[in-house]
Structure 1
Amino acid sequence: MNTERKYNRTLVLIVMMVAAIAGALMQTSLGTAIPTLMTAFNINLSTAQQATTWFLLFNGMMVPLSAYLANRVPTKILHFVAYILLFIGVLISTLTPEHSNVWWLFVVGRIVAAIAFGIIMPLMQIVILNMYAPKERGAAMGMMGLVIGMAPAFGPTLSGWILQKDHTILGLTLSNDWRSIFVIPLIFIVIAIILTPFMMENVIETKKMKLDFPSLALSTVGFGLFLWGFTNVGTDGWGDFTNVVFPIAAGVLLILVFAWRQLKLPVPFLDIKVFAKKDFTIPTVALILAIMAMYGVEMMLPTYLQNVRGLTPFHSGLTLLGGALFMGLMSPIAGILYNKVGVKLLSFVGFSVLALGTLPYIYLTAATPTIIISVLYAVRMAGIALVMMPLTTSAMGALSDDKAADGTAANNTLRQVSSSVVVALLTSVVQNTITNNLPASSMKVTDPIKYADKALNASMDGFQVAFIISMAFAVLGLIVVLFVKNDKGAE
């Protein structure tokens, strides 16, 4: 930790939070807009979700590199470059023409933004760990939770509001077009770029480090192939060897080679030895399960609300607003409670709330009142808030200060890769379930009413499978936290 501090920690934190808001909005704002994008680009659900899965994957792939960059490049310069890159990525997606043949360009913009965000978020954690003493980290990480929790939680509601009709904000007209959902993130990015030269400081001491390019290649190609295989399941099915089985198997093999290489290198690209410390590993595993449980509902719910319930993008986003508010309210409180009662009890309560809030989703129908869906979503997000920051703080607190960057990189790599995998997996499962249960196309002519009814049931079958998987992750998390050491931030 930087003990000779000659800068204002609050100003540094403000700049990072402004940029993090932009990146976090980019991460989940498309949830509500997926049906709109499907129509605009004439693509199916599986293809549209690639905008999310590839964002999460490249975000995860950049995290190991972030540890190297944080120690090699001055903090101010690294932040400035990352913010510029984020701006470019968002702009590419915003300017993509509406045609299925150029959908890849939209995804490229998402990938560029993900590369930037993959640097920004881990760097934010590393800077906080360097700026604040252990007893202060709970509150600081709680503020960070306010950003990475509320911003993506508000994303679907904000997107739906924008897509409902034209709006004018500070003289700027936002049309009810999917491109407009990127305007607000762009504004936050520009603000962060302007503030960085004046408010950001070189918090982390730089040192000469050699970048291991074979490790970078192994991790990039390995994780890329792994997710590509999962992404193709929705369109090609599990039996496709070329596009599904081979990429997944090859990806796993390269990841194993990557891990073996890290154990042999004197200075590893990603120090996986941090997982030898169980007080770091167990909270990290629990955290991953919480994130996978969160995505199990969060990514599927907007599509269910619009395609099954017939809600507008705005009203589907509004249904999720209670969850955003609860997430924001509980994140700072969770940081305080962590110092009072410890991570074990807090996480157990959080996972219990998450599981109880998820269970009713398994029994959703096409007629379930939206108020019930909204209340359950708020309960789930409150549970997520109770576990995310305390588990992250507990895991990082188990490592010495000199291992903070490595621990952050390892923790975030698993989080982002697991997020991308669960989104790809659930999307493919939902798509396959719907496809397999759809009635014969000939019924559209012979009995259109019966066809519509069976098609609706097929969609519900798909979403219910996703909710069951989400419930399973919550239950597993409840079991894992029983083995978490009950440390407190104040200690």
Structure 2
Amino acid sequence: MNNQSQTNPGIKRGPALTALLVAGFVGLFSETALNIALGDLSRLFHVDATTIQWLATGYFLTLGILVPVTGILMQKFTTRQMFFASLSLFLIGTVIAALSPVFGVLLVARIIQSMGLAIALPLTQNVIFTVFPPQQRGGAMGLMGLVMLAGPALGPTLAGLILDTLSWQWIFWLTLPFLLFSLVFGSIYLPNVNEVRNVSIDVLSVVLSTIGFGGIVYGFSVSGELGWTSTTVLTSLVLGALGLVAFGIRQTKMEQPTLNLQAFRYPMFVVGLIITSITFFNMLSLLVILPMYMQVSLLITAFATGLVLLPGSLLNCVLAPVIGRLFDKYGPKAVILPGTVCIAIAYACFTQLGVNTSLWMLVPVHIVMMLGIGMVIASVQTNTLNALPKRYYPDGIALTGTFQQVMGAVGIAVMVSVVSAKQNSYLATVANEPTQAFATGTTTALTVSFALALINVVLSFFVKKTN
């Protein structure tokens, strides 16, 4: 991209960003919306619970594999080419999913959808950091933070409403108008803003990246089912670790690396990456564990569970742009530090959950949690990428996007395993009370999250404003 694009009056930033954010919302909504229907789909397609979970695991696995590659793709192809590729994959995957007659077809459709999201999220960040000057990036990233939180958070609520009134296929059919809107808006308003270079895609780097990130995500994803001592789990994790080491070594020896690791030379980038990774680890695991707790231990319906989580999600949607403007005006620490404190307070309250916990208590605690997450995610990402020179934006975006998805998948796997292990221990040694056993497992997992949240509070003191 040339430097004129930031001030070029021909670029209509609002409509262009709208096209990207709508596509991102649909992708992130799809990330969690189907989770609430897994039980019904398991019976419909005559597959067990382990198999049906691949509709979620496969989505994360694809993101973990493809997001690292987007850094080089955004340098090789134009903004519009990447956008149309993303929307095409979204549309094809959504239609196939809605028409799926068997489980295998639905799984393939989910993977195609995930490929579209793997392009859309890094592309949106790259456009923001290219067309918005530094003093306006906080507000723009606040809007993206709204999408990143609202999509996964509203997924279970809206999907529960759909399942209560329509069939599961409508989870996909109802997203088509939004995807078509994004396609039309993007085709009209989204310009080419990136600088296309004559770079080659190193096949070996892609293979090593796939083995590395794919092995890590897969190993953690099946650990809850197979156990941490399983040969499959250990082999997958070891291969993943070796693949990442080999990938990193190869990048340092290439003149034009697939993913430039020079971003790790900048301290604020590293600090921000750690805070973001912990936040996504905790947030995505909470989006799985908390609804399960409410349905298993408090014995409320899936739709009622969604309603409990709705106020926090809606408040976050309203405040996200405000938080972005506060970042632009007062700097990162003024937003990030209180955000990490809010998250830690919410987790401290969540560690007290039990079978007699009142729903009215969950609502305000979840509101505090979502407020804190909204203050942290967009602000940290903005400050993290601002720490890098412009030429490293695609690589920094690819790195942050990869760590977000990989840590989210790992967080779900680890926390579900902790819940399951503590639940089984309670049933075997204390009493045969399933509701209390699951509540005990939940509080154990959330205590781990509370400890991680405290680490983020400490790290937030080291955050400095970057240019």
Which bracket does the TM-score occupy, shorter chain normalised? over 0.9
Question: Is residue 2:212 matched to residue 1:222?
Answer: yes
Amino acid at match of 1:22: V
Q: CA deviation at 1:464?
A: 2.1
TM-score (norm 1): 0.89
Q: Contact 1:160–1:318 at 8 Å: present in 2 too?
A: no
Q: Contact 2:125–2:397 at 8 Å: present in 1 too?
A: yes
Q: CA deviation at 1:199?
A: 2.4
Question: Is residue 2:410 matched to residue 1:469?
Answer: no
Separation in structure 1 between the aligned mates of residue 156 and residue 28 of structure 2, nearest angstrom: 11
Distance 1:483 1:106, change over 3 A: same
Distance 1:472 1:109, change over 3 A: farther
Q: Contact 1:327–1:385 at 8 Å: present in 2 too?
A: yes
Task: Tell me the secondary structure at the aligned position of residue 174 of structure 2.
Answer: helix
- Counterpart of 2:310 (choices 321, 325, 344) is 321
Separation in structure 2 between the aligned mates of residue 464 and residue 228 of structure 1, nearest angstrom: 26
Separation in structure 2 between the aligned mates of residue 439 and residue 254 of structure 1, nearest angstrom: 39
Q: CA deviation at 1:480?
A: 1.6
Cα displacement string for residues 324-360 of structure 1 (whole angstroms, at most 9, x for unaligned residues): 1122123212211112322123211101100101112
Question: Is residue 2:399 matched to residue 1:410?
Answer: yes
Distance 1:221 1:295, change over 3 A: same
Range with bigger deviation, 232-241 or 183-192: 183-192
Q: CA deviation at 1:38?
A: 4.8
Residue in structure 1 matched with residue 134 of structure 2 by the alignment: 134
Q: Contact 2:137–2:328 at 8 Å: present in 1 too?
A: no
How do residues 103-118 of structure 1 correspond to structure 2 at under 5 angstroms?
103-118=103-118
Q: CA deviation at 1:230?
A: 1.4
Residue in structure 2 matched with residue 299 of structure 1 by the alignment: 288
Separation in structure 1 between the aligned mates of residue 313 and residue 341 of structure 2, nearest angstrom: 19
Separation in structure 1 between the aligned mates of residue 47 and residue 344 of structure 2, nearest angstrom: 33
Q: CA deviation at 1:202?
A: 1.3
Q: Contact 1:430–1:465 at 8 Å: present in 2 too?
A: yes
Question: Is residue 2:4 matched to residue 1:3?
Answer: yes
Amino acid at match of 1:233: S
Residue in structure 2 matched with residue 256 of structure 1 by the alignment: 245
Range with bigger deviation, 30-39 or 142-151: 30-39
Alignment RMSD: 2.2
Q: Contact 1:229–1:245 at 8 Å: present in 2 too?
A: yes
Question: Is residue 2:196 matched to residue 1:196?
Answer: no
Residue in structure 2 matched with residue 12 of structure 1 by the alignment: 16
Residue in structure 2 matched with residue 94 of structure 1 by the alignment: 98
Residue in structure 1 matched with residue 83 of structure 2 by the alignment: 79
Residue in structure 2 matched with residue 171 of structure 1 by the alignment: none
Distance 1:36 1:369, change over 3 A: farther
Cα displacement string for residues 204-236 of structure 1 (whole angstroms, at most 9, x for unaligned residues): 131211111100000112221222221221221
Task: Tell me the secondary structure at the aligned position of residue 169 of structure 2.
Answer: helix
Residue in structure 2 matched with residue 206 of structure 1 by the alignment: 196
Cα displacement string for residues 378-432 of structure 1 (whole angstroms, at most 9, x for unaligned residues): 1100000111111111011111112111111111111111111111222233334
Separation in structure 2 between the aligned mates of residue 314 and residue 109 of structure 1, nearest angstrom: 25
Q: Contact 1:354–1:383 at 8 Å: present in 2 too?
A: yes
- Counterpart of 1:433 (choices 414, 422, 442) is 422
- Counterpart of 1:376 (choices 361, 365, 383) is 365
Separation in structure 1 between the aligned mates of residue 414 and residue 107 of structure 2, nearest angstrom: 18
- Counterpart of 2:170 (choices 171, 180, 184) is 180
Residue in structure 1 matched with residue 347 of structure 2 by the alignment: 358
Amino acid at match of 2:409: S
Q: CA deviation at 1:52?
A: 2.6
How do residues 273-288 of structure 1 correspond to structure 2 at under 5 angstroms?
273-288=262-277
Q: Contact 1:323–1:382 at 8 Å: present in 2 too?
A: yes
Q: Contact 2:297–2:436 at 8 Å: present in 1 too?
A: no
Range with bigger deviation, 287-296 or 247-256: 287-296
Distance 1:68 1:182, change over 3 A: same
Distance 1:45 1:370, change over 3 A: farther
Q: CA deviation at 1:31?
A: 4.1
Distance 1:482 1:40, change over 3 A: farther
Separation in structure 1 between the aligned mates of residue 310 and residue 67 of structure 2, nearest angstrom: 30
Q: Contact 1:230–1:428 at 8 Å: present in 2 too?
A: no
Separation in structure 1 between the aligned mates of residue 177 and residue 64 of structure 2, nearest angstrom: 25
Separation in structure 1 between the aligned mates of residue 40 and residue 343 of structure 2, nearest angstrom: 29
Q: CA deviation at 1:187?
A: 2.4
Residue in structure 1 matched with residue 148 of structure 2 by the alignment: 148
Residue in structure 2 matched with residue 158 of structure 1 by the alignment: 158
Cα displacement string for residues 162-191 of structure 1 (whole angstroms, at most 9, x for unaligned residues): 122x2xxxxxxxx1x332222222221122
Q: CA deviation at 1:43?
A: 5.8
Q: CA deviation at 1:377?
A: 0.9
Separation in structure 1 between the aligned mates of residue 385 and residue 452 of structure 2, nearest angstrom: 23
Residue in structure 1 matched with residue 322 of structure 2 by the alignment: 333
Distance 1:180 1:414, change over 3 A: same
Q: CA deviation at 1:193?
A: 2.4
Which residues of structure 2 form unaligned runs of 5+? none
TM-score (norm 2): 0.93
- Counterpart of 1:63 (choices 61, 67, 82) is 67
